[in-house]
Structure 1
Amino acid sequence: MKVKFLLLTALLGSSSLYAQKSACLTYDCAQMEVIKAHLVEGDTTLAPAWQALQKKADEALTHQPYSVTQKKLLPASGDKHDYYSFGPYWWPNPETKDALPYVRKDGQINPSSKTDDTDSKRMVQFSDDVRVLALAAFYRADKRYAQKAEVMLNTWFVNQQTRMNPNLNYAQAIPGRVNGRGIGIIDTRVLIDVADSIALLHYAGFLSDEQVQGYKHWYSAYTSWLLTSPNGQEEANWYNNHGAWYDTQVTAFSLFSGNKKQADQQIEVFKHRHLISQINSNGELSAELERTRSFHYSNFALAAYARMGRYGEQTGNDVWNFQLDSRTTKSAFAFISSQVGKPASEWQYPELKYTPEEAIGPMLAAARAYKDATFVQSVDILRKVDAKNINLLTPGSALVR
């Protein structure tokens, strides 16, 4: 009974004791306070997830701060402060002597796109470390984790010698084809998690208003670039998860930097331009089901939808219950829920690497939003598959890598 009580409390309810506190950004901090109280009381339900997170946070304490200036290669600008990455699914051309131009192999990641030569791997590591440090600082009330996170944040965003320029002009370049693409903007989805970490550390009293304002300034500048640059406009027009994640970034970064009006406007764009156009009457995300990793990308898109649902809660613009004709937000989550607990053989679409636990973030989000027994059951099934999953400690935010 205690296991079920903890899950239902954390997923579906908020403690009235904290109802007047800040809602943070994507995280539901009121529900996190409930989880924290249970952890303090010694409840073992979430012990595997907490122990896994604490181990990663302890490892992060030993890591050096990350900076875009550490890369070995330079973008076309020649400025080491500009973020630079290669397209992950592009490979050397086997039919040419110089291997150019690169050719695409969908779903197959070129290992060279994930080295320290460029910034893609580094930014993910930065986001991962800041995330676990902030969560450990909050759940353990330990300033060591917060202080380490602050050093990393200052290095990435503020220090003039190491900071990243607020643009993605040179993201996901393709050797022999283009110096950078709008599609590369999906790389900075991980900076939503960083903004969540900043908000959480501020909420918990580890960061001052002045410190947070410096980070908000960077995010505001980057949001302006997203909205006005050719690359930003290109990414905004994508019909699949790329368009949804573009909307999610603009909305999250606008809220974080204090522009609620802009966030609400982007939610409206998302609802009518991307959300409903991507969901069919069966709840399927057609553009994702065409991919070679259809289950992964369906959940990846739902992670964006879940975050937009959370931001709609904060602006009073309901995403969770939005519908048009026979297409609804809920049906997309229900479609994945119907697969939970079934073998890979019952997933009728292409999938190179079927990983059932990828659905845990979206299912947690759906359970929290809809308070539906079907989603709660899906969470319980997936929790038994992956009891260490970090999503169990971050209500409000769905993480699918």
Structure 2
Amino acid sequence: MNKLNVALRALPALLFLCSGLTHAAPSRCFTYDAATLARTRSQVAQKNSPLLPVYQALLSAADKALKQPALSVTQKTLLPASGDKHDYYSFGPYWWPNPDMASHLPYIRQDGKTNPDSKTDATDSTRLVRFGDDLRVLGLAYYFSGNKAYADKAAEMARVWFINSQTRMNPNMAYAQAIPGVVDGRGIGIIDSRVLIDVMDSIELIRPADTLSEADFQAVKRWYGTFSQWLLTSDNGFEEGNWHNNHGVFYDAQVVAFSLFSDHPDVAKQQMRVAMLRHLTAQIDRKGYLTAETERTRSWHYTQFALSAFQRLARYGELTGVDLWNSAIDDHRLEQALTVPAQFLDKPAEWPFAELKFDAQEALGNMIAAAHAYPKNALFREKAQQLSVAYPDNINLLTITAPLVR
């Protein structure tokens, strides 16, 4: 049986609680589906498992994370407008010094071309990405291997980022993606904090190791609850939620995920309804194209990126009773949006929009999650299997219900 079929064999039901697992069983699962994750783990443990390449890649990444120092927003060398190092600070990646001004201000935008100065340790954006990456692999490595060292490190990093009074991040993104010479921070910067979804999931995965005390776990939950409320009540959050592109849907994914994690299921369910009405119809046209993404210079990439957010939302819909997988509003459907890129995987030259660098691997997580969600759709099964063979060490082969596109 091939690796995709191993992972996607029919299940009697999608489970919320992770009861019945053998070791390192978390009591709650959110972005990951408990039964699928457990089944994948059992396959990884088998001799000559086809999932060994990705499992080995996961452990290699986690071993590297073990050697890294704990990260904190207070490690940056530039300050946000608040003057508080505890406030997250970044500036827009596509904004460059103005060549027509001696001061180089205000910065000007070049879509799709990343200013390398936006990705240094002077600000927090790369630090937050490393933190999210490390927590993701540490949590998954503990879950799949049972090696407590991974949970120890994850707990240490969580305490530094969320709890320790000297190093913790303030629960807001008010100074994210500033534009030098233009604005101190923007709602659009909230896209940066999407990585905290994977952090949240890893916190749940390591809980059985008892490396994070109950008091610390509750402190992390309170941080997420406060951050979720900031997303819902701040001007920046209001601005971000109303974008009809990947920013808007990732905003909804964050609010729903963080509300579930911090024990506010009613807020999560309401935001799922908002997402259905605000983004399903506004972002996906009747042919399945994500029109705000197809106008970008990297249209394929941003289509995959937005679809990964939609699929995470659809997973949360399973937990809140809002069926995004199968809903159709005026013939706008998520399944059709996933069908579009599947049809072009074998013929990238025919992709009808601009793309600076077509990368088929970016569709892997979306195709695997789609094959899981729509088991009767042969196209998704075919493309997911094709990509899984081509990229045997891609982490999406382990996580399945949490498509990851960077």
TM-score range normalised by the length of the shorter chain: over 0.9
- Alignment pair present for 1:91 and 2:88: no
1:219 to 224, 248, 264: 224
Q: Does 1:353 align with 2:350?
A: no
After superposition, the C-alpha distances for 1:303-361 in whole angstroms (9 at most, x for unaligned) are: 0000001000011110100101221111001111111222x311111001111100011
* 1:147 maps to which of 142, 152, 157: 152
1:191 aligns with 2:196: yes
Map of 1:166 onto structure 2 = 171
Offset from partner CA, 1:202-231 (integer Å, 9 cap, x none): 266654543321111000000010011111
1:201 aligns with 2:206: yes
Q: Rate the CA distance shift 1:186–1:341 in 2: closer, same or farther, 3 A.
A: same
- The answer as to whether partners of 1:23 and 1:30 remain within 8 angstroms in 2 is no
Alignment-mate amino acid for residue 218 of structure 1? W
Give the corresponding residue for 1:10.
7
Match of 1:380 among 381, 385, 391: 385
The answer to whether the 8 A contact 1:340-1:381 is kept is: no
Q: Which residue identity lines up with residue 361 of structure 1 in the other structure?
A: G
Q: 1:150 to 1:15 in 2, by over 3 A?
A: farther
Q: In structure 1, how many angstroms separate the alpha carbons of the residues matched to 2:77 and 2:14?
A: 50
1:309 and 2:306 aligned:
no
**Do 1:365 and 1:398's aligned partners in 2 also have CA atoms closer than 8 Å?**
yes
1:357–1:204 distance in 2 versus 1, CA, 3 Å = farther
| Range that drifts further, 36-45 or 362-371 | 36-45
1:81 Cα deviation from its structure 2 partner: 0.2
Of 134, 153, 157, which residue of structure 1 is paired with 2:139?
134
Alpha-carbon distance between aligned partners in 2 of 1:52 and 1:139, rounded to the nearest angstrom: 12
Q: Give distance in 1, aligned partners of 2:335 and 2:210.
A: 36
Where in structure 1 are there 5+ consecutive unaligned residues? none
Give the 3-state SS of the residue equivalent to 2:365 in structure 1: helix
Superposition RMSD in Å:
1.6
Aligned counterpart for 2:65 among listed residues 57, 60, 69: 60
Between the aligned partners of 2:388 and 2:14, the Cα distance in structure 1 is 27
| Kept in 1: contact 2:18–2:34 (CA 8 A) | no
The 8 Å contact of residues 296 and 358 in structure 1, kept in 2 or not, is answered as: yes
SS in 1 for 2:251: helix
Q: Which residue of 1 aligns with 2:112?
A: 107
Q: Residue in 2 aligned with 1:74?
A: 79
**What TM-score does the superposition give when structure 2 sets the normalisation length?**
0.95
**What displacement does 1:171 show?**
0.3
Asked if 2 retains the 8 angstrom alpha-carbon contact of 1:24 and 1:203, the reply is no
Aligned counterparts of 1:95 and 1:340: Cα–Cα separation in 2: 42
Between 236-245 and 289-298, the greater mean CA deviation after superposition: 236-245
CA shift for structure 1 position 20: 6.1
Aligned residues between the structures? 397
C-alpha spacing 1:24/1:207, structure 2 compared with 1 (3 Å) = farther
* Residues 205 and 12 (structure 1), Cα distance of their counterparts in 2 relative to 1, 3 Å cut: farther
Q: Does the 8 A contact of 2:31 with 2:312 survive in 1?
A: yes
Identity %: 52
Deviation for aligned residue 1:16: 8.1
Gaps of 5+ in 2: 20-26
Matches within 5 A, 1:112-131: 112-131=117-136
Contact 1:15 1:31 in 2 (8 A): no
- Select which of 370, 380, 389 maps to 1:366: 370
**SS of the residue 2:344 aligns to:** coil
User: What letter corresponds to residue 339 of structure 1 in structure 2?
Assistant: F
Partner Cα distance (2:118, 2:48) in 1: 42
Judged with a 3 Å threshold, the aligned counterparts in structure 2 of structure 1 residues 204 and 264 are, in CA distance, closer, same or farther, namely: farther
State the alpha-carbon separation in 1 of the partners of residues 111 and 372 from structure 2: 33
Partner of 1:338: helix, strand, or coil?
A: helix
